[in-house]
Amino acid sequence: MTPPNPQEPAEVRKKTPSDFIFGKVIGEGSYSTVYLAQDVQTKKEFAIKVLKKKHIIREKKTESVMREKEVLRILGNSCPYFVNLYSTFQDYDSLYFVLTYAKNGELLKHINLHNKFNFECTQYYTAELVLALEYLHSKHIVHRDLKPENILFDHNFHIIITDFGSANIEKTDNQTNNGETDLITALENTRRRRSFVGTAQFVSPEMLQESESSAASDLWALGCIVYQMTCGHMPFVGGNEYFIFQKIIKLEYEFPDGFDKRAQDLVENLLVLEPNRRLGASDVVPYTSIREHQMFEGINWNDLGPPPLLSDSPYLIKSSGSNNFNSNQEPGLDRDIVTKLILKDMLPGAAPTKQAERKISRAGRKITDLTQEEIEKRLLAQQANPYNVFVEGNLILKQGLIDKRKGLFPRRRMFLLTFGPHLYYVDPSNMNFKGEIPWSSDMRTETKNFKIFFVHTPNRKYYLEDPEGYALEWCKAIDQVKEHYFPSEQALKD
């Protein structure tokens, strides 16, 4: 079997990994690692997605990689709401996609940091998404995996949609395709008959039942995203994919109290089982009927203006300055550099930094210091938390996204520290329960720096990384819960 060999458009000189200095790993997909990188000559920053050829072939993902490249080629740089593919190149082991660097990360992260968006932010980002979908669908492309993890924010907090690995390029009657697109379509049709694509919580009923998708499938996903921005959690949740799918095909979801009525009306008009009856789906000029919805009162569609501030958060957005790159680092991405970049934060030595110390909560109260009344109140409120289904009725004391490393590679998990005591973790991308760190009196935490911490159990050392830099908060919280259930001798004497 030969490695994928996408036909590259002619470039003046083909770039190579040595044209870039590779910085930190900014993301990890199932089949890729994404690095922040700097062009040696222009000093411009990019996100470079590196795909291991062997891995792609083994996992039969060649078609998806080719499709992503083809879609990005069609989209070009004429719409600012999509990631731009600047160049592609390959070496013996890997394929490289040089992409716009979305400095402010995933929409999902920002929804989680703020718990939910206020109306102004929801309105603005929904409007950007509508403009993006108008453009995408005018090019006969259906994304098919639109979700808050695939919507990134650029340096000015405008959206950048990414991940076209599941996209479908619809063929129009008068469209002439090159050979590559034909191949993709053929493969696509085979695949479509086999299984649904997308992510459980955002997948449309028609993709589940008939494995058919159209532009209206993205409108369904838009409804799910508006719902999540408005209240902080997804409309369809369940312990596993089967339950989620059941809810989707029965349109079984509810609006929590206080859900904005304008957003609710829009969601109800997008989450419609019959694809053609979704708002916008039958528009002669897409998506005039969505633009005219009451949700967008006051919006100037010709110029949305700057985004509203996502400012009511105590979290700092870490800016990417020139210190992202080590001045001594050689260009390129050989084995040594990869290992160095991945292990950089994990090497022994550095004590917690001053910055880390500052991040320790100032509040003196322990998270376990709760009255019965407070516990009951919080348990009631917790019912609206989509992760409530995983905690067996225990009160969630702290939750947050943590990168859990096994081997060299991290997996992002929602960690749930509860009374019980328990420390559960769930895959947030498909809401699958993954496991829990076992508690015992021998459990011990260790902070490496403001991001990295370890939980030692008798049988295993868990390598954890809080991308927001609150590792010390986590260790402190876990220690307090441990102290609550396994008081130290000193505490017993006191």
Cis peptide leading into residue 287 (ω within 30°): yes
As a whole number of angstroms, the distance between CA 474 and CA 136 comes to 41
3-state helix, strand, coil in the chain (%, to 5): 35, 20, 45
Taking the complex as a whole, how short is the minimal distance between the CB of residue 93 and ligand ATP, in angstroms? 16
Render 63-96 in DSSP notation, one character per residue: HHHHHHHHHHHHHTTS-TTB--EEEEEE-SSEEE
DSSP code of residue 376: H
The contact set with ligand ATP (CB under 6 A) reads 26-32, 34, 47, 49, 83, 99-102, 106, 149, 152, 162-163, 165
Render 446-485 in DSSP notation, one character per residue: EE-SSSEEEEEETTEEEEEE-TTS-HHHHHHHHHHHHHHH
Give the strand pairing for 94-99 and 85-90.
Answer: antiparallel
As a whole number of angstroms, the distance between CA 267 and CA 409 comes to 37
Query: With contact defined as beta carbons under 8 Å apart, do 79 and 130 qualify?
Result: no
Question: Which of 102/219 has CB closer to ligand ATP?
Answer: 102
Question: Which of 106/134 has CB closer to ligand ATP?
Answer: 106
Taking the complex as a whole, how short is the minimal distance between the CB of residue 149 and ligand ATP, in angstroms? 5
Question: Which of 163/206 has CB closer to ligand ATP?
Answer: 163
Taking the complex as a whole, how short is the minimal distance between the CB of residue 365 and ligand ATP, in angstroms? 34
Question: Which of 317/379 has CB closer to ligand ATP?
Answer: 317
Taking the complex as a whole, how short is the minimal distance between the CB of residue 391 and ligand ATP, in angstroms? 25
Closest CA to 218 of 294, 125, 147: 147
Question: Which of 26/95 has CB closer to ligand ATP?
Answer: 26
Question: Which of 79/360 has CB closer to ligand ATP?
Answer: 79
Supply the residues annotated as catalytic: 145
398 labelled ligand-binding: no
* Phi, psi dihedrals of residue 332, rounded to the nearest 5°: 100, 175
As a whole number of angstroms, the distance between CA 157 and CA 102 comes to 9
In the bound state, the residue with its beta carbon closest to ligand ATP is 27
Q: Which residues of 387-400 are buried (b: 16+ CB within 10 A; e: fewer)?
A: bbbbbeebbbbbbb
As a whole number of angstroms, the distance between CA 487 and CA 198 comes to 47
Taking the complex as a whole, how short is the minimal distance between the CB of residue 150 and ligand ATP, in angstroms? 6
Taking the complex as a whole, how short is the minimal distance between the CB of residue 40 and ligand ATP, in angstroms? 19
DSSP, collapsed to helix, strand or coil, labels residue 396 as strand
Q: Look at the alpha carbons of 259, 269, 244, 34 in this order and tell me if their dihedral is positive or negative.
A: negative
Amino acid at 256: P
Binding site for ATP, by residue number, is 49
Binding site, by residue number, is 49
